[in-house]
C-alpha cells in the first residue's frame, strides 16, 4: 500500500508561528446599511472596535461622537449592544446610542423629548429623539455636548 495514507497516519502539527491568526485578520461583518456586527460587550474596547469598523466617513463621525461624549461625561459607561455603541451611567442605564445606516449615522437620545432644544428627529417612541448625521453635515459640537450633558442627568433607559 505504498503511497496511500492510512487513517491512523497523522500529519505533523504546524509550529505555533505558522498557525494563521484568524482573529488578527478578521474584520467585523458589515450588516445592512454598513452597520458593523460587533458582539455584545461592555467597556471602551468594543466601542472602539465598532467605531474602527464603521465604513468610510462614518468612522470619523463615530470617533468625534465618542470623544464628545467622553469629554462631556468623563465617568460614562460604554457597551456595544444590538450592534450599536451605548453610553450610560454607573447604574447600567443608558442615555444615548448611535447606529450606521446607508447614508447617515443615527444618534438616539433615549429621553430626548426632555432635552432643550429638542433634537430634530422624531421617533415612534414618545420619549426618544434622533439626530441624523450625513456625510457633509457639520456637527454643532457645543449643542451636541449640551444634549449629552442634559441626557446624562436624566433617568436612563434600562436595556
Tell me, yes or no, whether 64 lies in a domain. yes
Count of the separate structural domains present in the chain: 1
Q: Is residue 10 in some structural domain?
A: no
Q: Which three cell numbers stand for residue 105?
A: 449615522
Does residue 78 fall inside a structural domain?
A: yes
Q: Per the domain annotation, does 3 fall within a domain?
A: no
Domain span holding position 132 = 30-155
Residue 88: which H helix or E strand, with range?
strand 84-88
150 belongs to a structural domain: yes
pLDDT of residue 39: 87
In a domain, 94, yes or no: yes
Q: How many residues does the chain have?
A: 159
Give a yes or no: residue 97 inside a domain.
Answer: yes
Model pLDDT, residue 26: 55
Residue that the C-alpha cell 442615555 belongs to: 95
pLDDT at 36: 87
* Angle between helix 57-72 and helix 44-53 axes, rounded to 10 deg: 150
Beta strand 41-42 with 157-158 is unpaired
The DSSP element (H or E) to which 93 belongs, if any, is strand 93-100
- Does 90 reside within a domain? yes
User: What does the alpha-carbon distance between residue 142 and residue 159 come to, in Å, rounded to a whole number?
Assistant: 28
CATH code of the domain in which 122 resides = 3.90.1150.200
- Omega before 32 cis (within 30°)? no
**pLDDT tens, the chain, 159 aa long:** 444 444 444 444 444 333 433 344 457 777 777 778 888 999 999 999 999 999 999 999 999 999 999 999 999 999 999 999 999 998 889 999 999 999 999 999 999 999 999 999 999 999 999 999 999 999 999 999 999 999 999 998 888
Amino acid at each position: 500500500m505504498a503511497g496511500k495514507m492510512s487513517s491512523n497516519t497523522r500529519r505533523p502539527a504546524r509550529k505555533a508561528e505558522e498557525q494563521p491568526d484568524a482573529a488578527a485578520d478578521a474584520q467585523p461583518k458589515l450588516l445592512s446599511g454598513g452597520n458593523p456586527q460587533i458582539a455584545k460587550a461592555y467597556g471602551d474596547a468594543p466601542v472602539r472596535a465598532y467605531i474602527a469598523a464603521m465604513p468610510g466617513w462614518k468612522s470619523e463621525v463615530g470617533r468625534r461622537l465618542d470623544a464628545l461624549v467622553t469629554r462631556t461625561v468623563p465617568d460614562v459607561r460604554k457597551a456595544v449592544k444590538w450592534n450599536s455603541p451605548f453610553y450610560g451611567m454607573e447604574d447600567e442605564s443608558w442615555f444615548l446610542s448611535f447606529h450606521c445606516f446607508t447614508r447617515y449615522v443615527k444618534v438616539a437620545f433615549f429621553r430626548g423629548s426632555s432635552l432643550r432644544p429638542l433634537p430634530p428627529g422624531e421617533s415612534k417612541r414618545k420619549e426618544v429623539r434622533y439626530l441624523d448625521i450625513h456625510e457633509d453635515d457639520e456637527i454643532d459640537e457645543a449643542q451636541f455636548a449640551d444634549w449629552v450633558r442634559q441626557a446624562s442627568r436624566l433617568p436612563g433607559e434600562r436595556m
